[in-house]
Chains A and B, each alone.
Chain A
Amino acid sequence: MIISIASGKGGTGKTTIAINLALSLPKETVQLIDCDVEEPNSHIFLKPTFHRVTSVGMRVPRIDESKCTYCGKCAQVCEYHAIAVILKNVLVFDELCHGCGACSYLCPEKAIFEVEREIGIIQEGSANGISFINGILNIGEPMASPIIRKAKEGIQKNKITILDAPPGTACPVIETVKGSDFCLLVTEPTPFGLNDLELAVGMLEKLGIQMGIVINKADIGDRGIWDYCKSKNIPILMEIPMDRKIAESYSKGIPIVVENPSYIQRFCDLFEKVEKLHESNRRRPRIE
């Protein structure tokens, strides 16, 4: 089963939910993948040991000047403006390239070949028996999705896979949550939290992914989230109060379930609710 943890708004507690859920379940059954490759944080709490590091590359074009006739076909087909032909110069802008390979395939002179350019890394390892994968985007690289795709290749089908998503609702989030059996949206009861929750719900509806809500710092702010969830009929599966102790232990990289073991049962309950909802959703007859 694949459960992704997303939020819309940043800093609501995605990583907190992801790691504490992972730590509360029988460890040999759990896998955690940090898909927030721009700013991965799960490792800070899990302190994993890694046994393998792989480079994630993207294929980018290079020009064989001895064959190039400067016809401009490559620049014409590139939708991303990653190649420009100016007089007798071909300029390649690696950061704009999506690695689609159209230019090299379509070059009439076969003057374009591809080289692998590293844009990030994948670390694989474990933390106290929990299988863990960390994706990291190299600084200065704009494109996160290829790293997320690569990290998700490590999903083990027989495990409960928890995906820690990046904030927002754009392509890196979609790359993370697509294919999930269930998505937990973590929010906080403020106008910002609600606004971004609505965007995230819209995204999951479009993708057809089943969802439930976790409200963090549930006793601050206003009641807008509860009204919204009620009107949309989205289940609220867990509420965590604002607690300076939790905030302080978070700041030191200590998981809630370590600081306060009574939370283990609460996270197990959360998982049970997710499992039940997922099961009843699967059994529901569908119109094909």
Chain B
Amino acid sequence: MMEQNEIKQLAIVSGKGGTGKTTIAAAFASLAKNKVMVDCDVDAADLHLLLQPKVLTQEKYFGGRSPRVDLEKCTQCGLCTEVCRFNAIDNGVLDPISCEGCGFCFHICPESAIVMEEAFSGDWFFSETSYGPFVHARLGIGEENSGKLVTVVRKKAVEIAKEKNLALILIDGPPGIGCPVTASLTGVNLILAVTEPTLSGIHDLERILKLSEHFKIPSMVCINKFDINLENSQKIISYCEKNGSKLVGRIPYEPKVVEALVNRKTVMDYPCNEVQGIVNQMWKEVENTLFPSPLDGERLG
């Protein structure tokens, strides 16, 4: 029997928000075959707007535990207030927004007036789309632990990939460099950083590439709207050369990209030839890096 091939994971990230992660992820969804897609931007998920999923299963996500105080038992001794480092409890009265669910108050309460309860923090979905299987989530409003929810959806994606013998997990990542981003990057094979030629874009690109270096994950870079500032684009290209990140695409500013989005279409499914050609080329480079042997290529179809 043939051994199961290694599943490859590609994460599309950016540092700075709004550079075009989801636009590229959706375009790749339309180009790559034999893959599962995951939206790891769980607190502002957008990929579903383009993939138009049909939800197959919906599950509740419990992100952690939170305390509940039985005020009948509370003697207002103030010990909980004293030990809480998040200023989240005042003599048994809880501020759920500030509470980080550490449970210190629960352990310390001499009257056993506090219990810890599973906190419902959102939903996650397994869906089918015309591009293939898709795992996505919706973090509850104002909930914590988005990193943990990212881990949940990624685990589900790995399960699906194994079950269906898929070659690739395509991750649409969150902005920033903090907890949901680190949760999106652990164990991925390749990072594609989408940036824009602005000083903010460059600043944030440097930080996300340093993070990829920190995790020892190879990275590639794509410049979106590169013609907004050619001088800055050149700076990014030089930075990539110095840094060992391959530049795989330069996408011009093109109003049709927004038109495609308004029509809920990926750029590959909407008439914008110039951008399509560049994205196609980009995907080929990414594909060749992820699947260097011809045998691997066949797996992608």
A residues near B (Cβ < 8 Å) are: 8-12, 15, 36, 38-39, 41, 44, 77, 79-80, 95, 98-102, 105-106, 137, 139-144, 166-174, 178, 190-192, 195-196, 199, 202-203, 206-207, 220-222, 244, 247-248, 250-253
Residues of the A chain whose Cβ atoms lie less than 8 Å from the Cβ of B97: 174, 178, 207
Evaluate contact between A102 and B262: CB separation under 8 angstroms: no
> Cβ of B203: which chain A residues have Cβ within 8 Å of it?
39, 41, 44
Contacts A140-B211, A206-B141, A220-B255; is A251 near B199 (CB within 8 Å)? yes
The answer on a CB contact under 8 Å between B101 and A79 is yes
| A199 touching B44, Cβ below 8 Å | yes
The answer on a CB contact under 8 Å between B176 and A171 is no
B46 located at the interface, meaning its Cβ lies under 8 Å from any Cβ of chain A in the complex: yes
Question: Which residues of chain B are within 8 angstroms of A190 by Cβ–Cβ distance?
Answer: 258, 261-262
A169 to B144, CA, bound (A): 10
Produce 1/0 per residue, B91-112, CB < 8 A to A.
Answer: 0000001101111100110000
Closest A residue, CB atoms, query B101: A79
**Distance to closest chain A CB from B108 (angstroms):** 7
Chain B residues whose CB sits within 8 angstroms of the CB of A102 once the complex forms: 83, 102-104, 107
Q: Are B146 and A171 in contact (CB under 8 A)?
A: yes
- Cβ contact of B262, chosen from A12, A44, A100, A222, cutoff 8 A: A222
Contact at B17–A11, with CB atoms within 8 Å? yes
Q: Which residue of A is nearest B103, CB measured?
A: A79
Asked if B100 and A38 make an inter-chain contact with CB atoms under 8 angstroms apart, the answer reads: no
B252 is an interface residue with CB less than 8 A from chain A: no
B residues in contact with A221, CB < 8 Å: 258, 261-262
Q: Is B210 among interface residues, defined by CB-CB distance under 8 A? A: yes
Asked if B174 and A39 make an inter-chain contact with CB atoms under 8 angstroms apart, the answer reads: no
Residues of chain A within 8 A of B183, CB atoms compared: 142
Whether A248 lies near B200 (C-beta < 8 A) is no
User: Interface size (B, Cβ < 8 Å)?
Assistant: 66
Would B228 and A251 count as touching, CB distance under 8 A?
A: yes
Whether A39 pairs with B141 at a CB distance below 8 angstroms is: no
A279 to B207, CA, bound (A): 41
Contacts known (A11-B18, A192-B46); A143 close to B228, Cβ less than 8 A: no
The answer to whether B175 has its CB under 8 Å from any CB of chain A is yes
Q: Which of A100, A101, A248 has the most B CB atoms < 10 Å from its CB?
A: A100
Q: With both chains docked as a complex, state the minimum distance between the C-beta of A148 and any C-beta of chain B, in angstroms.
A: 11
Distance (Å) between the CB of B104 and the closest chain A CB?
A: 4
Query: Which residues on B sit within 8 Å (CB–CB) of A173?
Result: 43
Q: Is B249's CB within 8 Å of the partner chain A?
A: no
Contacts of A10 in B (CB 8 A): 14, 16-19, 44, 175
Contact A170 B143 (CB under 8 A): yes
Q: By the criterion CB–CB under 8 Å, are A167 and B44 in contact?
A: yes
Q: Which of B43, B98, B214 lies in contact with A199, CB distance below 8 A?
A: B43
A251 to B141, CA, bound (A): 33
Q: A39-B204, A105-B83, A191-B262 are in contact. Are A142 and B16 (CB under 8 A)?
A: no
Q: Which residues of B contact A195 (CB under 8 A)?
A: 44, 46, 49
New A-B contacts (7) at CB < 8 Å, excluding given A41-B200, A196-B46, A248-B229 = A38-B177, A38-B181, A166-B176, A170-B139, A170-B142, A170-B180, A203-B141
- Whether B229 pairs with A39 at a CB distance below 8 angstroms is no
A206 touches B142 (CB 8 A): yes
Cβ of B64 < 8 Å from any Cβ of A?
yes
Q: Are A38 and B176 in contact (CB under 8 A)?
A: yes
Cβ-defined partner of A139 (8 Å) among B17, B177, B255: B177
Contact residues in A for B199 (Cβ distance below 8 Å): 41, 44, 251-253
Quick check: A100 and B104 within 8 Å, CB to CB?
yes
Complex contact A98–B146 (CB within 8 A): no
Bound CA–CA A36/B64 (angstroms): 25
A and B contact pairs by CB, cutoff 8 A, 5 listed: A79-B64, A79-B116, A102-B107, A171-B146, A253-B199
Query: What separation, in Å, do the CA atoms of A137 and B108 have in the docked complex?
Result: 32
Q: With the chains together, A222 CA to B262 CA distance in Å? A: 7
Of A8, A178, A253, the residue contacting B44 (CB under 8 A) is A8
A77-B103 contact, Cβ under 8 Å, with A137-B178, A142-B147, A192-B49: yes
CB closest chain-A residue, reference B16: A39
Tell me if B53 counts as interface (CB < 8 A to partner A): no
- Residues of A contacting B86 in the complex (Cβ-Cβ under 8 angstroms): 100
Q: CA A11 – CA B65 in complex, angstroms? A: 33
Measured CB to CB, the nearest residue on chain B to A102 is B104
A168 lies within 8 A of B16 (CB)? no
Give the docked Cα–Cα distance between A192 and B85 (Å): 37
The answer to whether B219 has its CB under 8 Å from any CB of chain A is: no
Query: Bound state CA distance, A207 and B42, in angstroms?
Result: 20
Q: A12-B18, A102-B102, A250-B198 are in contact. Are A139 and B143 (CB under 8 A)?
A: no
